[in-house]
Structure 1
Amino acid sequence: MASKKKIHTDMPLGEIYPRLLRYSFRYKGWLGLAGLGMALYAGADTALIYILKPLLDGSIVDRDPWMIHWIPFFMLGLFIGRGIAGFLSSYGMSWVANRVVYNVRTDVFDKFLKLPAAFFDKNATGRTTAMLTYYTSQISGAATSAITIMVQDSLRVVGFTLLMFWVNWSLALITLLVGPVIALVVNLVSKRFRRYSVSIQQSMGDITHISEEVLIGQRVVKVFGGEGHEREAFERVNGKNQRMAMRKATTSAASVPVIQFIAAIAIAFVVGIAVRDTGGGVMTPGDLATFFGAMMGMMGPIKRLTSVNATIQSGMAAAGAIFELIDEPGEPDDGDRSIARARGSIVFDDVSFAYPSSEHDVLRGIGFSVEPGQTVAFVGRSGSGKSTLLSLLPRFYDYDRGEIRLDTHAITDYRLADLRRQISLVDQNVVLFNDTIAGNIAYGSLGGIERAQVEDAARRAYAADFIEALPKGYDTKVGQNGIMLSGGQRQRIAIARALLKDAPILILDEATSALDTESERAIQQGLDNLMRDRTTLVIAHRLSTIQDADRIVVMHDGALVEQGDHATLMAHGGHYRSLHDIQFSRPDAL
């Protein structure tokens, strides 16, 4: 199956992190509460280590009665305060992180609605959908437990370090000499983490893409024996994902003992000095226990700070990819002209167009005009540019040269929403949503319309009989893309939707080509109602359905080669006559 351009990120960390923080800073109150909890938690841990000094020197050695009486209550109070502080920090950060993920997902989905068709041509659906699922989950991990560990354990390390300096500054200074070495190791590991995280995220997009294609096309896969091919394709991307994950896990697993070994060298060196009483004076048992308690207390936070780096780098890589998506230019909407209801006059004036990924024009110098209420049909062999041509009118793509005018004004002068409000579309590939039949007919801006109008549109589309025969009638769920309905039924729902919109311009893109003759005849009655009193542009495969069109435009290899009514074109004996004779198997076409 075809592969498409991969979404990746080259955005530097210096841009990603501040931008992610801006999402967090919308909730300064909750951040402040979480920060206070983290500070209190780190302070309580430092106080619990400090209490070793009065416990040993005052209670055990000197047998101070005040210490003996109050130390247990003091310790109990510290544990209670530590528990409250831990809850505040965890709950506060989780609240902020969930809101950040909610807002990021909302921004990504909003961007999906605004991106031009060219973006979706370049990027597979599975990879873009992964932005809302896998990528945002990576941000969630980086924004909750990871940030809590980063802040809370950093504060604990600071607290333990200050305590060590307070007990014996010279030994503390020796211990801190390993800090730059640890920082260097963490920096090297971070770069590898982020590189592997980007690869893992891309492979997850590939996994989603292949799975989606197989699920949608499972009938084709089965009939054409594609199981082996699809399994091999899936194994490739799944294997790459597994290899990248293992490299990331290996780096994480190796970095922790390396850092701990470096810290252990410092601890061993300090122990050797302390037991010889040469570390800045004689230390009491309480001093010694407090100093080494602080040193050992730092090992856990250092280990977690090193391990959590992988989660943070994954989150930053995901955030970078998401921000690049959000920064993608949306559909151009620079027009300032409003329009309530168009008359339906359309002019294509020397229009040329090339897809962004192509170096060659797929449409060249197209020119024709349509009067209000006329029906114009577009015919030609597959690949001649018919669908591309009509996709320019609602500005799914913008033409490169020439001009398209609606009611004498260039379509780029209109507000995009106003322009599209003038157009209804019935496509060969009907898109229905996993909603009720009524919800699919009264879709989008039609959602507030009364049920009676919905039912009237269904009757005019010749869909009422089969809808009312369903168990729940108009409230029947149609399933994903209308899987519960036949092709003809889906097509009639689409016609009812277009009738309900009542736009002055109608585009029919091979609306009946995939149907059998009986279904086509039934649907044609609905189409006749739909086409009445509106400008209609029809792409037709079966020439028998458009012989009564006011004008027929013949396309060939991206150019307009003929136009006129059926009789004129048949008499002319050109491309249209050739297409007609081939389709109707005329003997004189041989």
Structure 2
Amino acid sequence: MIITQYYCRLLKWITPYWKTLSIAILFLAIMALTLSMLPAFIKQILNSIFVNKDPESIQFVALAIIMLFIIYGTASYISIHAINAASNKLGIDLRIAMFHKLLNMPVQYHDNLTRCNLATRFIVDIDQITHTISNVIIILVKDSLTLIGLTAWMFYLNWELSLLGLLIAPIIVLSIQLFDRLIHKTNQQARQISEALTQGLLNTIDNYKTIKLYGGLWREKQHFRRQAEQVYQATMHQVVIKALGISLGQAILILILTAIVYLMTQQAYYNKIIMEDVGSFIVAILIFILPVQRISSIYQHLQQGQRAIENLFSFLTYESKPDTGTMVIEAAQGELTFERVSFSFHSQAESVLDNLSFVIKPGEVVAFIVPNCSDKTIFMDLILRFLCPTGGRILLDGHDVANLKLTNLHANIAMISQNQGLLDKTIAANIAYGTMRCASEAKITAASQASHAMDFIREMPQGLQTHVGEGEIELTEQQCQYLAIARVFLKNPPILILEDVPMTINSESQHLQATLESLMQGRTTLIITQQHCLSEKIDRIFVLENGKITETRKWNKLFTKQGNCIKFFQSLFKANRDGQSSKNTHK
């Protein structure tokens, strides 16, 4: 079923390009006119050959037909170019609108988004929409006008035969639509069976060890064979339907042409129609067939594009929570307070984080050991206000972060993760990113020197302006981390979050650790990690387990008594010793 409201909404997006579309429609009309005029020229050339036998007239008509095809080809080029220009500009607008919407989506949406879904929405769906728009415009304008012109000419030649053709045309259209819908249904069934085969294959790969362990190889082979047979049967069913449709279509066409030719011969026998009219009428019918087929398939084109349009508008109308904060802190000190903060998802009765209360003073370095990855992510998202607490509140310098403008809150926080990626094309643009894009080269250079990123930047061909990334100079993970540190130095926020960044006594990257410790000076620093975190720069260590803080310990009292924190490190050191012993054994 075609839902017209989606196409009406899409019409609003394409109206800005009405001038380009007007050019396309004009030249599509010229194409329709040239096709409609061809049978008239055929009549003239037949008349010149068999009746008048005038060589000059034959040459003139032949040249006119050549000019007609030249005009048709030129109009075809211009119309195709104009339609695709308008539809592709529409595609750009839709992609930009989707990207803007994506940036404003809540963090939960990004967490559930896969690369496959992203590629489908931004590439496949938009391409399908632009393709549908182009085809529908061509069919509605060129083919419709062609049918009108040919019908008028055929009625001029012989109204009886034309009336017969018009009576038969709806039967042809209905037959084509019936087979199109039948083919669409079989395609959907075949697609579902293919998806089931793919899902079964992926399930076998994911559980390969278990299948071998329990001797399930024979069962999996038999199951896959049955699914493969189903795919074969579905494919053959498609082939049968298509072949049957082609055969019946050809049979109906032959019967119709035979009937029309028979009637024309009867009329010619009684001198009701002359030979040149017969030839012109036959040419008109042959041209008539293709537009009828295309107009009959317009439902299929609309049906194919509808799914993509539904996905588009469901995405664009997805409700994103607006920023309700109004307060601005000019110069934050960096005091961070959790007051009985709890968080739970609506679908879960238990709290993910439960009644967290603590105060981090300005300039204090605090480590949070969170063994659960999900709890760690939620904890950081609450601080960054990507998520809102379901209970309690988070304060920055005594102000509820819910009342702060989101841009102001983020201006006071920087974050460095273990796996830092590149954000722009040049080294300078990666450091002066986002709101810092207008920073002077002197400030960028100073940040690079403070972060020791300048040690490898000097060796680059163009220094700070060197292009990096895919297809350019590739940077190591450690070099990307130095750029991230330089970005923080340039931003100079009062609060720093380090996510899973190594801060260990025996770190292999001592130079990087020293740079991080330099960055932490004078900043409220939260080291949030699933791993061990041993550094004399840490003032306190919190252990967050099962949504609660189960251990709080100052660094100088870390090893003085038993507790969750000391047990965690004891098990960690034991694991490290066992790992080292295993390596020595293999050696």
TM band (smaller chain): 0.7 to 0.9
The reply to whether residue 420 of structure 1 matches residue 381 of structure 2 is: no
Which one-letter code corresponds to 1:86 in the other structure?
A: S
The reply to whether residue 127 of structure 1 matches residue 117 of structure 2 is: yes
Range with bigger deviation, 103-112 or 481-490: 481-490
Deviation at 1:481, TM superposition (A): 12
The reply to whether residue 556 of structure 1 matches residue 545 of structure 2 is: yes
Deviation at 1:556, TM superposition (A): 1.0
Deviations 1:472-528 (Å, cap 9, x if unpaired)?
Answer: 543444434999444433322221111111122211112116x89354422222222
Partner in structure 2 of residue 507 of structure 1: 497
Deviation at 1:348, TM superposition (A): 2.3
Partner in structure 1 of residue 520 of structure 2: 531
- For the 8 Å contact 1:378–1:539, the answer to whether it is kept is yes
Partner in structure 2 of residue 101 of structure 1: 91
Deviation at 1:65, TM superposition (A): 11
The reply to whether residue 136 of structure 1 matches residue 109 of structure 2 is: no
- For the 8 Å contact 1:174–1:266, the answer to whether it is kept is no
Q: 2:76 aligns with which of 86, 103, 107?
A: 86
Q: 2:332 aligns with which of 325, 338, 342?
A: 342
Range with bigger deviation, 276-285 or 95-104: 276-285
Distance 2:308 2:507 in 1: 52
Which one-letter code corresponds to 1:561 in the other structure?
A: T
Runs (5+) with no aligned partner, structure 1: 1-10, 215-231
Report the number of matched residues.
Answer: 552
Which one-letter code corresponds to 2:512 in the other structure?
A: I
- For the 8 Å contact 1:442–1:500, the answer to whether it is kept is yes
Distance 1:457 1:377 in 2: 25
Deviations 1:530-581 (Å, cap 9, x if unpaired)?
Answer: 2222222211456553554344332111112343533566667432233244
Which one-letter code corresponds to 1:81 in the other structure?
A: I
The reply to whether residue 403 of structure 1 matches residue 367 of structure 2 is: no
Secondary structure of 1:37's partner? helix
The reply to whether residue 451 of structure 1 matches residue 479 of structure 2 is: no
Distance 1:337 1:244 in 2: 62
Which one-letter code corresponds to 1:553 in the other structure?
A: F
Distance 1:539 1:36 in 2: 64
Deviation at 1:44, TM superposition (A): 1.4
TM-score in terms of structure 2 length: 0.79
Partner in structure 2 of residue 26 of structure 1: 16
Which one-letter code corresponds to 1:455 in the other structure?
A: T
Range with bigger deviation, 484-493 or 94-103: 484-493
- For the 8 Å contact 2:541–2:552, the answer to whether it is kept is yes
Range with bigger deviation, 483-492 or 450-459: 483-492
Query: Would the alpha carbon gap of residues 186 and 540 (structure 1) be closer, same or farther in structure 2, given more than 3 Å must change?
Result: same
Query: Would the alpha carbon gap of residues 170 and 83 (structure 1) be closer, same or farther in structure 2, given more than 3 Å must change?
Result: same
- For the 8 Å contact 2:337–2:358, the answer to whether it is kept is yes
Deviation at 1:238, TM superposition (A): 13
Distance 1:238 1:312 in 2: 31
Q: 1:576 aligns with which of 561, 565, 573?
A: 565
Partner in structure 1 of residue 376 of structure 2: 386
Partner in structure 2 of residue 266 of structure 1: 256
- For the 8 Å contact 2:370–2:528, the answer to whether it is kept is no
Deviation at 1:29, TM superposition (A): 0.9
Runs (5+) with no aligned partner, structure 2: 206-220, 576-587
The reply to whether residue 326 of structure 1 matches residue 316 of structure 2 is: yes
Distance 1:403 1:563 in 2: 20
TM-score in terms of structure 1 length: 0.79
Deviation at 1:97, TM superposition (A): 1.9
Distance 1:237 1:397 in 2: 44
Secondary structure of 1:506's partner? strand
- For the 8 Å contact 1:171–1:279, the answer to whether it is kept is no
Q: 1:430 aligns with which of 416, 420, 426?
A: 420
Q: 1:296 aligns with which of 286, 289, 302?
A: 286
- For the 8 Å contact 2:413–2:494, the answer to whether it is kept is yes
Distance 1:395 1:380 in 2: 19
Deviation at 1:127, TM superposition (A): 2.5
Query: Would the alpha carbon gap of residues 50 and 486 (structure 1) be closer, same or farther in structure 2, given more than 3 Å must change?
Result: closer
Distance 2:313 2:170 in 1: 32
Deviation at 1:12, TM superposition (A): 5.5
Distance 1:341 1:202 in 2: 61
Partner in structure 1 of residue 217 of structure 2: none
Distance 2:248 2:434 in 1: 58
Deviation at 1:34, TM superposition (A): 0.8
Q: 1:183 aligns with which of 155, 173, 177?
A: 173
Which one-letter code corresponds to 1:353 in the other structure?
A: F
- For the 8 Å contact 2:367–2:526, the answer to whether it is kept is yes
Partner in structure 1 of residue 209 of structure 2: none
- For the 8 Å contact 1:346–1:407, the answer to whether it is kept is yes
Secondary structure of 1:455's partner? helix
Partner in structure 1 of residue 33 of structure 2: 43
Distance 1:396 1:482 in 2: 33
The reply to whether residue 117 of structure 1 matches residue 126 of structure 2 is: no
Identity fraction in percent: 29
Deviation at 1:132, TM superposition (A): 2.9
Distance 2:188 2:495 in 1: 49
Deviation at 1:378, TM superposition (A): 1.0
Secondary structure of 2:325's partner? coil
Distance 2:462 2:477 in 1: 20
Partner in structure 1 of residue 554 of structure 2: 565
Distance 2:94 2:231 in 1: 25
Query: Would the alpha carbon gap of residues 120 and 483 (structure 1) be closer, same or farther in structure 2, given more than 3 Å must change?
Result: farther
Query: Would the alpha carbon gap of residues 567 and 529 (structure 1) be closer, same or farther in structure 2, given more than 3 Å must change?
Result: closer
Partner in structure 1 of residue 582 of structure 2: none
Partner in structure 2 of residue 522 of structure 1: 511
Query: Would the alpha carbon gap of residues 466 and 284 (structure 1) be closer, same or farther in structure 2, given more than 3 Å must change?
Result: same
Q: 1:464 aligns with which of 451, 454, 457?
A: 454
Secondary structure of 2:267's partner? coil
Secondary structure of 2:339's partner? strand
Q: Give 1:44-59 correspondences, 5 Å limit.
A: 44-57=34-47
Partner in structure 2 of residue 172 of structure 1: 162
- For the 8 Å contact 2:180–2:300, the answer to whether it is kept is yes
Query: Would the alpha carbon gap of residues 579 and 113 (structure 1) be closer, same or farther in structure 2, given more than 3 Å must change?
Result: same
Partner in structure 2 of residue 4 of structure 1: none
Which one-letter code corresponds to 2:392 in the other structure?
A: G
Which one-letter code corresponds to 1:525 in the other structure?
A: A
Secondary structure of 2:383's partner? coil
Range with bigger deviation, 540-549 or 325-334: 540-549
- For the 8 Å contact 1:353–1:399, the answer to whether it is kept is yes
Which one-letter code corresponds to 2:19 in the other structure?
A: G
- For the 8 Å contact 2:376–2:529, the answer to whether it is kept is no
Which one-letter code corresponds to 1:301 in the other structure?
A: P
Distance 2:139 2:387 in 1: 48
Secondary structure of 2:518's partner? helix
Secondary structure of 2:544's partner? strand
Query: Would the alpha carbon gap of residues 119 and 439 (structure 1) be closer, same or farther in structure 2, given more than 3 Å must change?
Result: same
Distance 2:52 2:453 in 1: 95
Query: Would the alpha carbon gap of residues 435 and 491 (structure 1) be closer, same or farther in structure 2, given more than 3 Å must change?
Result: same
Deviations 1:444-494 (Å, cap 9, x if unpaired)?
Answer: 222222222222212222332233244554344443499944443332222
Distance 2:507 2:269 in 1: 98
Distance 1:359 1:248 in 2: 49
Range with bigger deviation, 541-550 or 116-125: 541-550
